[in-house]
Amino acid sequence: MRPLENDLFLRACRREPTERTPIWLMRQAGRYLPSYRALRERYDFLTLCRTPELAAEVTVQPVEQLDVDAAILFSDILVIPEAMGLMVRIEESGGPRIETPVRTASDVARLTVPDPEEKLSYVLDAIRATQERLQGRVPLIGFAGAPWTLFAYMVEGSGRDDFRRARVLVHEAPHTAHALLEKIARAVARFLHAQIEAGVHAVQLFDTWAGVLDPDGFLEFSLAYVRQVIEAVKATAPRRVPVLLFSRGTAAWIEALAETGADVLSVDWTCDLTRARRQTEDRVALQGNLDPTVLLASPEVVAREAQKVLARFGIGAGHIFNLGHGVLPETPVENVRRLVDTVKRESPQYHVPRGNASL
């Protein structure tokens, strides 16, 4: 692989010293960018995901326009349920819908664990096309939905109603739930493996809906499968790449999340970064966690709140600046620029200059 011009993000993932805190943003390629909206006038969301050249173009837009320290592949977590055999309608407004939700053991039996080279080759092609465009400027992050979060959509059919059906299913039919989660976990691990082979520098698991489960349910149906996927990826990956885990609504579970094998915990905006760092004792890097609604306020507020996040993590290696959830569509681009500039300008004070490590 081509050597990287900017490897701040990867060094921070490994908790190695950096000159400043790297920054990228979840959903940094998306509707808030005029250049993205211009493309969307010509192509629908699914076409952008499915056409490697277009996905690559969208992926590099924030790198070129905002100078962030990493790119994340433009795609959607529901490509896996679709590749497993479900009818998925991926829409930007109203949220994703699964037309054929999974409800019974026979529904589960019908699903396949897809070969990514066959069913998800468009994603792998998009990775290769993106690397061509990036030319090693910054690392490229691949991703997948975590098993529980994919399960929640696959059972519920949509992201509404706090996933009541999914929660009932784990209580009512735990064997069926485990059978489905096993299949999803194998599909996710194979998919991440293929993404690494195709050239991504890191992978992130999104467990966006981990926070709807009760304590037993979280440990048994979310955390156990995150661990299983990470172990499988680490055991088989052709190269050792950092694994990032975004788990939302689980600020009370930081210690447990740090034991999953993830190299980086990406925490939501409700999480206290100071406490999370103390709880994990610097055994993992932390990513986050500005409230995305801060980017809807004035640029001055953006700068002030960004500095608070830097201060909350404090001095030392192992912080990757990000939002606590994705960029909201109504976010002014000017505010995102201000955020990136603020982190670049203000973060060096939190890093020990090379050669002064003893200070």
3-state secondary structure of 69: coil
Determine whether 272 is exposed, middle or buried from the number of CB atoms within 10 Å of its CB (0-12, 13-18, 19+): middle
67 is catalytic: no
Cβ proximity to a second copy: between 179 and 297 the closer is 297
Strand partners, 246: 206, 266
251 binds a second copy (CB under 8 A): yes
Which residue among the candidates 69, 76, 263, 268 is catalytic per the annotation? 76
7 is catalytic: no
Cβ proximity to a second copy: between 119 and 248 the closer is 248
Contact 199, 128 (CB under 8 A): yes
The C-alpha angle with vertex 207 and arms to 335 and 141, in degrees rounded to 5, equals 60
Strand partners, 72: 141
Q: What CA–CA distances, in Å, run from 117 to 121, 128, 297?
A: 5, 13, 44
249 binds a second copy (CB under 8 A): yes
269 binds a second copy (CB under 8 A): yes
3-state secondary structure of 193: helix
3-state secondary structure of 192: helix
270 binds a second copy (CB under 8 A): yes
224 binds a second copy (CB under 8 A): no
The reply to whether omega before 322 is within 30° of 0 (cis) is: no
Pick the binder of a second copy from 44, 117, 172, 231 (CB under 8 A): 172
Q: Which stretch binds a second copy (CB under 8 A): 37-45, 103-111, 167-175, 346-354?
A: 167-175
Q: Which stretch binds a second copy (CB under 8 A): 178-186, 227-235, 268-276, 349-357?
A: 268-276
Size, binding site for a second copy by CB under 8 A: 35
Q: Which stretch binds a second copy (CB under 8 A): 54-62, 110-118, 144-152, 163-171?
A: 163-171
CA-CA distance, 323 to 300, in Å (whole number)? Answer: 17
Pick the binder of a second copy from 245, 324, 339, 340 (CB under 8 A): 324
Burial 13-43 (b: 16+ CB within 10 A, else e): bebeebebbbbbbbbbbbbbbeebeebbeee
Which amino acids are annotated catalytic? 27, 31, 40, 76, 153
User: Binding residues for a second copy, per CB under 8 A?
Assistant: 164, 167-168, 171-172, 211-218, 249, 251-252, 269-273, 275, 289, 291, 293-294, 296-298, 301, 305, 308, 312, 324, 328
